[in-house]
Protein backbone atom coordinates (compact mmCIF):
# COMPACT_ATOMS: atom_id res chain seq x y z
CA UNK A 1 0.00 0.00 0.00
CA UNK A 2 1.22 3.43 -0.88
CA UNK A 3 1.70 6.01 1.86
CA UNK A 4 -0.25 9.23 1.52
CA UNK A 5 1.66 11.43 3.98
CA UNK A 6 4.99 13.04 3.24
CA UNK A 7 7.84 12.65 5.72
CA UNK A 8 7.27 16.28 6.74
CA UNK A 9 3.58 15.55 7.29
CA UNK A 10 4.34 12.53 9.47
CA UNK A 11 6.83 14.56 11.50
CA UNK A 12 4.31 17.39 11.95
CA UNK A 13 1.64 14.96 13.17
CA UNK A 14 4.05 13.27 15.60
CA UNK A 15 5.03 16.67 16.98
CA UNK A 16 1.41 17.72 17.32
CA UNK A 17 0.59 14.42 19.03
CA UNK A 18 3.32 15.00 21.63
CA UNK A 19 2.06 18.51 22.37
CA UNK A 20 -1.67 17.75 22.30
CA UNK A 21 -3.70 17.80 25.52
CA UNK A 22 -6.98 16.56 24.08
CA UNK A 23 -7.14 12.73 24.09
CA UNK A 24 -9.68 12.65 21.27
CA UNK A 25 -7.36 14.65 19.01
CA UNK A 26 -4.44 12.41 20.02
CA UNK A 27 -6.45 9.34 19.01
CA UNK A 28 -7.32 10.86 15.64
CA UNK A 29 -3.68 11.66 14.97
CA UNK A 30 -2.70 8.09 15.84
CA UNK A 31 -5.41 6.79 13.49
CA UNK A 32 -4.06 8.88 10.62
CA UNK A 33 -0.48 7.74 11.27
CA UNK A 34 -1.54 4.08 11.45
CA UNK A 35 -3.59 4.42 8.26
CA UNK A 36 -0.58 5.93 6.53
CA UNK A 37 1.31 2.75 7.39
CA UNK A 38 -1.50 0.68 5.88
CA UNK A 39 -3.02 -0.35 9.18
CA UNK A 40 -6.69 0.49 8.70
CA UNK A 41 -7.86 -2.49 10.73
CA UNK A 42 -5.07 -1.96 13.26
CA UNK A 43 -6.07 1.66 13.77
CA UNK A 44 -9.69 0.72 14.36
CA UNK A 45 -8.64 -2.01 16.77
CA UNK A 46 -6.20 0.27 18.61
CA UNK A 47 -8.91 2.90 19.05
CA UNK A 48 -11.47 0.28 20.13
CA UNK A 49 -13.70 0.93 17.13
CA UNK A 50 -15.87 -2.01 16.14
CA UNK A 51 -17.34 -2.72 12.74
CA UNK A 52 -21.06 -2.17 13.40
CA UNK A 53 -22.39 -2.52 9.87
CA UNK A 54 -25.69 -4.29 9.72
CA UNK A 55 -25.91 -7.38 7.57
> With helix as H, strand as E and coil as C, how does 1-54 read?
CCCCCCHHHHHHHHHHHHHCCCHHHHHHHHHHHHHHCCCHHHHHHHCCCCCCCC
Q: Is residue 1 part of a domain?
A: no
Q: Is residue 36 part of a domain?
A: yes
Residue 50 has pLDDT above 50, yes or no: yes
Give the up-direction half-sphere exposure of residue 51: CA atoms within 13 A in the CB hemisphere: 7
The pLDDT score that the predictor gives to residue 27 is 85
Q: Is residue 3 part of a domain?
A: no
Residue 4 has pLDDT above 90, yes or no: no
Residue 43 has pLDDT above 80, yes or no: no
The pLDDT score that the predictor gives to residue 38 is 77
Q: Is residue 23 part of a domain?
A: yes
Domain that holds residue 16: 12-46
Q: Is residue 25 part of a domain?
A: yes
Domain count, the chain: 1
Q: Is residue 52 part of a domain?
A: no
Q: Is residue 40 part of a domain?
A: yes
Amino acid sequence: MQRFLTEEGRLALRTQHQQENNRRVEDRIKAVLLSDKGGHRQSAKALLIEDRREV
